Amino acid sequence: MSKEDESLQELKCLLGNMGVDIFFAIDKGAKDFETMKMFSGLPMACIKGRVPVLLELKLIIKKNDGYFLTNKGLSFKEKIESNS
């Protein structure tokens, strides 16, 4: 397993399936907790618990008009999609 594959697996483990679902909800246009809930189908408690992790890992950023993927987040998305 390459160093890049390990890094991808580590991030996926840190986020868990729900974190990855929230990440992709943001990618699809969810800008706040309510739309993340609608896009992902996850309970609000899960969203409120995982968004700080996504922020801490610098996969997303919060701006005045909502949450967005960072360059690191876009790279993470690319890696996930290419490994699927």
Q: Walk along the chain (84 residues) in steps of 10 and give the mean pLDDT of each run.
A: 70 93 97 97 97 96 97 95 82
Q: So what's the pLDDT on residue 7?
A: 84
The span from the CA of 1 to the CA of 48, in Å, is: 33
Q: 24 with 15: CB under 8 angstroms?
A: no
Q: So what's the pLDDT on residue 8?
A: 86
Q: So what's the pLDDT on residue 3?
A: 63
Q: 11 with 77: CB under 8 angstroms?
A: no
- DSSP letter for 62, please: E
Q: So what's the pLDDT on residue 16?
A: 94
Give the list of residues 6+ apart from residue 73 with CB closer than 8 angstroms, or none.
Answer: 23, 27, 54, 58, 59, 60
Multiple choice CATH, 3-83, 1.10.1240.10, 1.10.10.10, 3.40.50.300, 3.40.50.1100: 1.10.10.10
